[in-house]
Amino acid sequence: MPGSDRSDALRELGGMAAERREQANMTLDEVYDRTRIRMEYLRGIEAGNYEGFPEPVYVKGFIRTYLRLIGAEDLQEDFIAQLNRLQPKKEEPAANILGNASPGPRGFKPVSHVWLFLVLLAALAGTGIYVWYAWSNGGFKIENWRWPNFSQGTGSSGERTGVNTDVHVQASRDVAPETGPVSAEVASVETPAPRPKPSLMIRARGDVWMSVSIGDKNVYNRTLKSGAVVSWDLPAPARVRFGRPDMANVTLNGKDLGPANARGSKKAETYLYQPDGVWKKVN
C-alpha cells in the first residue's frame, strides 16, 4: 500500500476516534486528565499525524489506553495494522561482492622479489659511480642555490667555519619575499541541537499500582493496566512509588531506562526522577 494511502487510513481512523470521543461527551482535556497522555500525542492520534512520536511500542500503548477510555476498542485492530505498515522494513544484508577468501590451489608459489632487489642494487651502484666521477673531476657546482650563511660563524679556534668555495651562493636579497594578505577560512559554527523537554513516561508491562508526585503535587494514584502508558512534563522532580517495580518500563527525557527494577523485585519501591535526567532509588 502506498505511503499516502496509509496516511489517509490513519487520518480516517483518527477522525472516527474523535467522533467516538464526542459521542462519549468527552473533551481532549478530560482524556488528558484521565490518561496523562500528552496533549500533542492525543491531537496527533485524532489527526493521523505521528511525526515526533516516540517508539512504535509506546504509540500503540497510547492508542490502546485512549480507545479503551472512549469506548472505541473495536478500532484498535485497524489502528495497529496501519501503524505496523508505517514501520520501515528491515534491509536485506548486502551481497558478498568480494567472494570467498579461500586459499589458492595446491602447488601455488608466491612471486619472487629477488629481481626487484637486483634492480635497486644496480641503481645504487650507478649512483655511486656517478658521484665518484663528478667529484674526481672538480666537484659539484651548484648555481643559484640558497645556502645558509654558515661563513659568519666561528669555530672553537676562532677561525671562520668553512664553506665549500666551489659553491656559488646567490644572495637572498636578490629574491623579493612574497607578501600579501593572509586569508583564513571562517569555520562554520553549528547550532547545537535543542535539549529534549524534560518528561517522564511509564508503560505497564503488567498491572502495576503507582503513586506519582511532581514537586508538591500528587498527579497519579491508582493501578496502571497492562499495556497502558502515562506521561508527564517534568518542571520539578518526580517521586514515583511502584507496587511492582519490575512491571513498569520508564522513559526519562526520551531515554529508555527499562524496568524500574530490572532484577525482578516484586516489593514496593520508591524512585526519584530529576528533570536533568538523573534518577535514583530512594528506599
C-alpha cell at 157: 679556534
Q: CA-CA distance, 211 to 205, in Å (whole number)? A: 17
pLDDT for 110? 54
Look-up of cell digits 520501515: 88
State the helix-helix crossing angle for 39-47 and 56-70, rounded to 10 degrees. 80
pLDDT for 55? 87
Look-up of cell digits 665549500: 164
Among 201, 197, 147, 136, CA closest to 172: 147
Among 230, 179, 188, 177, CA closest to 66: 230
Average pLDDT of the residues in 179-188: 48
Q: CA-CA distance, 209 to 189, in Å (whole number)? A: 49
pLDDT for 109? 53
State pLDDT tens for residues 12-46.
999 999 999 999 999 999 999 999 999 999 999 99
**What does the chain come to in residues?**
283
Phi and psi at 270, nearest 5°, equal -120, 135
State pLDDT tens for residues 139-167.
555 444 455 554 444 444 444 444 444 44
Quick check: helix, strand or coil at residue 52?
A: coil
Longest dimension (CA), the chain: 112
State pLDDT tens for residues 211-270.
999 999 999 999 988 899 899 999 999 999 988 889 899 999 999 999 988 887 778 899
Q: How confident is the model at residue 111 (pLDDT cuts 50, 70, 90)?
A: low
Q: CA-CA distance, 87 to 56, in Å (whole number)? A: 8
Q: Are 202 and 187 in contact (CB under 8 A)?
A: no
DSSP letter at 152 equals: G
pTM: 0.41
pLDDT for 153? 47
C-alpha cell at 25: 461527551
State pLDDT tens for residues 50-92.
888 988 888 899 999 999 999 999 999 999 988 887 765 555 4
Better pLDDT: 271 or 3: 271
pLDDT for 263? 83
pLDDT for 265? 74
Sorted by sequence, the CB contacts under 8 Å of residue 202 that are 6+ apart come out as: 210, 212, 224, 229, 230, 231, 240, 248, 249, 250, 251
Among 270, 220, 229, 265, CA closest to 247: 265
Q: Are 273 and 200 in contact (CB under 8 A)?
A: yes
C-alpha cell at 178: 612574497
User: Which uninterrupted H or E stretch holds 51?
Assistant: none
C-alpha cell at 167: 659553491
